[in-house]
């Protein structure tokens, strides 16, 4: 890296200009009189911008997004998505099972996979069983690093339920609102990828796009 271009944001120059129980805005003063603002869920001492390289490369994500594939006997594999109300967009959008990492998840041997199993159970009603596979696709993905330091891990879970009777969205918590599932074949998923819109003509998130692409490319079949 060109040392002349190195920018170091120091803890002592960071100021929280807005704080609430759910989101904060940090002023990342990176030079005298120079300010950049970061929307974050993190407390001041946990901001990504001030982490040393070693801590940054070992950090846990804020949440986990799951690529859930249903591979059932005698059935064509399906990508399991849901229609979840996204408040900043003001409408239901095609979404992957996802959620924030809890403090109790961080105490587990593998916090990312623990979060993934819990979110799949809460948002789909399905349990990850012994014959199922669940693996990390990417440990930390930034949502929009020009606006926020929020991150998600991307996990692939291949489930083999005998049927779909257990599918449920009754485990939704807090502000979560759902309006049913979308079980996509490879062909349907590819159509949504090409169009850039779901079956109702609506846009969707980058993490949904990643799940669609991963499924259509058949990467979910790879042995962990």
pLDDT for the residue 172: 83
Q: Which domains does the chain have, with CATH numbers?
A: 3-51 (no CATH), 63-221 (3.90.79.10)
pTM recorded for the entire structure:
0.94
- From first to last of its 224 residues, the chain has per-residue pLDDT tens of 566 667 889 999 999 999 999 999 999 999 999 999 999 999 999 999 999 999 999 999 999 999 999 999 999 999 999 999 999 999 999 999 999 999 999 999 999 999 999 999 999 999 999 999 999 999 999 999 999 999 999 999 999 999 999 999 998 888 899 999 999 999 999 999 999 999 899 999 999 999 999 999 999 998 76
pLDDT for the residue 222: 83
Joined tokens for residue 7:
């920018």
């Amino acid at each position: 890296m060109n040392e002349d271009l190195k920018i170091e944001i120091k803890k002592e120059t960071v100021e929280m200009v807005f704080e609430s129980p759910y989101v904060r805005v940090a002023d990342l003063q990176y030079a005298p009189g120079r300010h950049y603002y970061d929307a974050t869920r993190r407390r001041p001492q946990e901001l990504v911008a001030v982490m040393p390289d070693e801590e940054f490369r070992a950090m846990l994500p804020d949440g986990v997004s799951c690529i859930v594939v249903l591979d059932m006997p005698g059935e064509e594999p399906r990508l399991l998505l849901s229609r979840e109300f996204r408040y900043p967009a003001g409408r239901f959008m095609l979404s992957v099972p996802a959620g924030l990492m809890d403090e109790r998840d961080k105490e587990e041997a593998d916090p990312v996979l623990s979060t993934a199993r819990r979110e799949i159970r809460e948002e789909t009603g399905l349990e990850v069983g012994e014959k199922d596979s669940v693996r990390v696709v990417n440990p930390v993905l930034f949502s929009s690093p020009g606006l926020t330091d929020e991150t998600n891990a991307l996990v692939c879970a291949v489930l083999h339920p005998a049927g779909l009777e257990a599918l449920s969205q009754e485990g939704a918590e807090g502000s979560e609102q759902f309006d049913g599932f979308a079980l996509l074949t490879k062909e349907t998923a590819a159509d949504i990828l090409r169009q850039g819109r779901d079956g109702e003509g609506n846009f969707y998130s980058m993490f949904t796009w990643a799940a669609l692409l991963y499924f259509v490319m058949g990467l979910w079949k790879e042995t962990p």
